[in-house]
Amino acid sequence: MNRVAIVSLSVCLLLGCSQDEGASLTDPDVYRVDIRWTDYGIPHIDAADWASLGYGLAYATAQDAICVLAEEIVTVRGERARYFGAHSDGIDNIANDVFQRAIIDQDVVAHHRAGAPPEVAAMNRGYRDGYNRWLEDHGHHLPARCAGEPWVRPMTDEDVTRMGIWVGIRYGLGRAAEPIVNAEPAAASRAEPASAGAVVFLGDMPDHAELGSNAYAIGSELTANERGLLLGNPHYPWRGSSRFHMKHLRIPGELDVMGVGLYTTNAVAIGFTRHVAWTHTVSTALRFTLYRLELDPDDSTRYRHGEDIRNMTSRDVEVPVLSPDGELLPERRTIWFSHHGPVLASSELPWSSEHAFALRDVNLRNNRAGEQYLRFWRARSVEDMRDALQAVQGVSWTNTVAADRRGGALYADITVVPNVDRTLIEDCGVTLDNAGPWSRAVTLDGSRPECAWREAPDAAQAGILPPEELPYLITQRYVSNSNDSHWLSSPKAPLEGYSPIIGDERAQRSLRTRAGLVFLEEVLYEDRRFTPEIVQDILFEHRNFGASLLLDDLLELCKDLDGTPARACEVLAGWDRRHALDSRGAHVWTEFWRHAGRMENPWVVGFDPADPVATPAGLRVQDVEVRAGLTDALTRAVETLDEAEIALDAPLGEIQYVMRNGEKIGIPGGEGWAGAFSMIVTRLQPGEGYTPVTHGNSYIQVVTWDDSGAPDARAILTYSQSEEPDSPHYADQTRLYSEGKWLRLPFTDAQIEQARTLRQVTLEAPRR
């Protein structure tokens, strides 16, 4: 590339060019990218082409997350036990390594690489080289957590692919890693199950899962500016590879998108453009089914399928394990497979001489995520978003909620779901006794060929539901989702008639779902139109809907109490029914509802599908059994807090917090299952309080468009850009979140130029 071209390209990168101008300056042999970090460490990445964009994105991400990325590479390579021993951070490293090597084999890797469109494939190559460039530039001065560690190594093409696959299956097939790895055939001479792995996933309620979210999309009929308005509020982990990272990606004339992606993905997965804004919430749809296998009584590795008896296949995997004395010792496991998928075993799903269980997961063969987000970035309306979802079906396990600058609002659970309809469940479903955490799973009869997933010619993948059988709604009013099913995304237009594998219908909603809907309706009842400020306040008021609904009834009961439960009553009577930093009594309510929420039918008015937002309601405090249960819950709340040495009247900000380099930062928000809409999940530590935060409010964005059509985006990344204590962006946004503040995201050229530039680098390098 000559000097004139380089200078011209620099101007293009900084000021923007037409597509033709940008294309004319692209050099297929050179990476060229400019990165500007504005306040709070937000990188704006201007690239000449898709490969250069990946190069700059990896470089900018490694700046904040090199240790997390390096550890994730070790994870997907199946090498955790080599470097961290048999167990670390609560992870069975041997199970992880065997699972990664046995399940994500070379065929799966090749399949996923084949699904990447040219732009994404180029971006992946650049991402690999940009990460390795960062290591070359900064590997001598890594954050303390991974400085000098042998597991910080260069990235390969396969690493990039494997990280993408792992994100797709992590919360389905991936969370059954231990039951799969530890499954052993039952001996023919015994009926009892073989040794079993622990079941580590599948909570019955979304609020008890590791991931969740709130989302609103509000259309032109209800907004002050008659444009779309979006709230995105994902509830994701505050540490590790599922943390979000803010970024702004630009290619002149081709791409201009801002938002976040997970540390280990090279995409903006939640964000906005000049035309649309979108977010995701974890869907209730199941991504797998279990199959119960009918075994040969003489050989528990053989199973019946129709008139045939089939042999299971097996794969032996050996992994090195670091012993306490530093020696690498080999550990060998055998993984068993049916044609349905890998065999697993647990105390609830034993591998006996009669039956075993296999798991089939749709996302292991879903290689379309890259194409899906590429189409999101190019969408110009919520109709385009819907069309992209239906054409690609590449979203793994989340609803999509979107708004556009023309005033449209979209809810869609158009995802990758097994093609299992109500009839198939009724004809082939197997009822399991004592299923425990597997109770929500659909279990089918694996001995009958007719119980296979249905095939649909217009589905994007064999064995998944076709797009016309997946729910969505486009409106100019509003849609909402807080991890309940599709049914009540808009109470005035309920979505019904879909397969039960997607989620329930005409069933009770969670307190958090009802909170989100009630808070919207309150604004409409006051005859106000929505603005960004109103939506921001809905979340940052940190109100507890459960308390608004039920505390007055409880206080009636309190008039007759004394002793231990009366102590809780005294504090709750003065509580402002919020989870703000100065709220006194929020934690008492949380501990009370931890027990009271499990009571069977404490309601004055039971659930009514004709009035699902307002019901159930009221506590039957005159009923003897209900009174006793509520009194016991108050007593247990006080005892829990006394044992933990936590004052009942302590301000929430003093007892719910994170520590950042010796600084105590109070964190507002509460548990969703206890009625909070603004969700923060913590651990109660005796003598310390509710700390650390495990997950909850993470990247929060409120997006609309101004009179000129430019994005008006306010956001906060609650835990800040970096997990590393030696980073300048370890706690800066966390302080803002604690104070109830937001960032105005610089998106246009003028806004970026007006923002304070913390650092700027231009990268140029030959391509491999």
CA 319 vs CA 88, 107, 310, 343, 522: distances in Å: 16, 20, 29, 20, 58
Q: What SS3 class is residue 472?
A: strand
Residues 6+ apart with CB under 8 A from 235: 211, 212, 213, 214, 672, 679, 681, 695, 696, 697, 698
Residues written for the chain: 768
List the end-to-end C-alpha distance of the chain, in Å, as a whole number: 16
CA-closest candidate to residue 48, choices 205, 251, 286, 240: 251
Q: How many helices (H) and strands (E) does the chain have?
A: 21, 32
Q: Which long-range contacts (CB under 8 A, 24 or more apart) does 354-357 make?
A: 354/191, 354/294, 354/295, 354/297, 355/292, 355/293, 355/294, 355/295, 356/183, 356/185, 356/292, 356/293, 356/295, 356/300, 356/303, 357/290, 357/291, 357/292, 357/293, 357/443
- 3-state SS, 71-136, equals HHHHHHHCCHHHHHCCEECCEEHHHHHHHHHHHCCHHHHHHHHHCCCHHHHHHHHHHHHHHHHHHH
Give dist(CA 573, CA 176) in Å, integer.
Answer: 45
Within 10 A of 570 (CB to CB), how many other CB atoms are there? 15
Within 10 A of 273 (CB to CB), how many other CB atoms are there? 23
Secondary structure element (H or E) that encloses residue 192, with its range: none
Burial state string for 98-131 with b = 16 or more CB within 10 A and e = fewer than 16: bbbbbbbeeebbebbbebbeebbbbbbbbbbbbb
Cα–chain-centroid distance for residue 49? 29
Asked about 213 being catalytic, the answer comes back as yes
Backbone φ and ψ for 332, nearest 5 degrees, come out as -120, 135
699-705 and 711-717 strand pairing: antiparallel
Give dist(CA 184, CA 698) in Å, integer.
Answer: 40
CA-closest candidate to residue 13, choices 269, 267, 373, 256: 256
CA 401 vs CA 276, 520, 531, 619, 718: distances in Å: 11, 16, 18, 34, 21
Give dist(CA 768, CA 763) in Å, integer.
Answer: 15
Using an 8 Å Cβ cutoff, are 525 and 485 in contact? no
Give dist(CA 722, CA 244) in Å, integer.
Answer: 9
Backbone φ and ψ for 192, nearest 5 degrees, come out as -75, 155
Q: Which of 52, 213, 485, 738 is catalytic?
A: 213
Per the rule left: phi > 0, alpha: psi between -120 and 50, beta: everything else, 313 is: beta
CA-closest candidate to residue 519, choices 274, 113, 216, 127: 216
Residues 6+ apart with CB under 8 A from 601: none
Per the rule left: phi > 0, alpha: psi between -120 and 50, beta: everything else, 720 is: left
DSSP assigned state of 241: T
Give dist(CA 227, CA 707) in Å, integer.
Answer: 9
Residue 255's beta-bridge partner residues? 251
Give dist(CA 216, CA 675) in Å, integer.
Answer: 18
Give dist(CA 62, CA 56) in Å, integer.
Answer: 10
- Is the dihedral angle over the CA atoms 584, 509, 174, 430 positive or is it negative? positive
CA 578 vs CA 232, 539, 548, 586, 652: distances in Å: 21, 11, 9, 7, 10
Give dist(CA 682, CA 673) in Å, integer.
Answer: 13
Positions annotated as catalytic residues are 213
